[in-house]
Amino acid sequence: MISVSRMLCDIVSPGDHLRYERKGPPRPIVVWNCTRQCNLSCVHCYATAVHERVPGEMDTAEAKNFITDVAEFGAPVLLFSGGEPIARKDLFELADFAKGKGLRLAMSTNGTLIDREKAREISRIGFAEVGISLDGIGANNDRFRGKEGAFDAALKGIRNCVAEGIRVSMRLTITRFNYQEIPEIFKVMEDEQVQRICLYHLAYSGRGSTIQKEDITHEQTRAVIDTICRHTVDINSLGPCRKDSGLAEDQRRQQFRHQDFRSGQHGERSS
């Protein structure tokens, strides 16, 4: 994962110290695919998620043992991923438990199940960040994600999290179907006051292995990188595009100083 904001604008974001300021031996950031269950059916899903809970997944007691092992090993971060982590009925119990073990918590989610009550729980527990995926605008996202209304539902999830003061990152897996919508995705980010965006290459695994031909070409990749760099510099130097924020330009610049753009291969992953 490359921090474009750091590279181009020298902006230091929460969690950067885990990547860039190594003190002592390296410690792993653990991405835990805590379930394969998911309410969506994305064509690129590298976990090959399914709608029902899969037999053999860790139950609550086993999951707590696993979390204890992760904490005792010294991992600084536990990122709940999946499948859809919120599909696990014990997610918040496990997150509370992990927090009590001193782990910094993050989550990759499709966001469609985050109503206001769940956002409150996420905030109460103290997740450092919630990554919510959008793979395009409107119907384009929905076609990719296999569910009509998924875009609107994810947007509501984003809004519920932002309203609860949760640091949200937007995630997008780049394909030939959505690479031209990246400027609009940046606009959504600005309009919704999302602080970070992570853009991922298509991972050729799971269902993603069946759509390799939908990946972008090298030339398109170069154009996408240019777009990302341009937006990164623009936003961080000129302030937010929100004209209705009611803030003076100086204040808006200050508020958005920490917007954070990243590009990379799936690590924290797009859900």
Of 29, 30, 49, 130, which lies in the binding site for ligand SF4, with binding defined by CB under 6 A? 49
Of 9, 11, 30, 38, the residue at the interface with ligand SF4 (CB under 6 A) is 38
* CA proximity to 95, closest of 62, 61, 127: 127
d(C-alpha 122, C-alpha 128), whole Å: 9
Instruction: Please state whether 36 falls in left (phi above 0), alpha (psi between -120 and 50) or beta.
Output: alpha
Q: Which is nearer to ligand SF4, 84 or 142 (CB)?
A: 84
168 with 162: CB under 8 angstroms? Answer: yes
Among 9, 42, 125, 194, binds ligand SF4 (CB under 6 A): 42
Least separation in angstroms between residue 42's CB and ligand SF4 is 3
Q: What distance in Å separates the CA atoms of residue 85 and residue 162, rounded to the nearest whole number?
A: 19
Q: What angle do CA 178, 225, 3 make, to 5 degrees?
A: 110
Place of tokens 């929905």: 142
Applying the rule CB under 6 A, the residues between 62 and 91 that interact with ligand SF4 are: 82-84
The site string for ligand SF4 over 91-130 (x = CB under 6 A, - otherwise) reads -------------------x--------------------
- If binding is defined by CB under 6 A, does position 37 make contact with ligand SF4? no
Shortest distance in whole angstroms from residue 39 CB to ligand SF4: 7
Q: From the CB of 47, what's the least distance to ligand SF4, in Å?
A: 5
Q: How far is the CB of 25 from ligand SF4 (least distance, A)?
A: 32
Residue 140 or 245: which CB sits closer to ligand SF4?
Answer: 140
Figure out which of the listed residues 11, 29, 40, 216 binds ligand SF4, where binding follows CB under 6 A.
40
Neighbours of 115 (CB within 10 A): 12
Which residues does residue 170 pair with via DSSP β-bridges, in sequence order? 132, 197
**Quick one: DSSP state of residue 46?**
T
Task: Report the distance separating Cα 209 and Cα 186, nearest Å.
Answer: 27
Smaller CB separation from ligand SF4, 5 or 271: 271
For ligand SF4, the binding residues (CB under 6 A) are 38, 40-42, 45, 47, 49, 82-84, 110, 145, 271
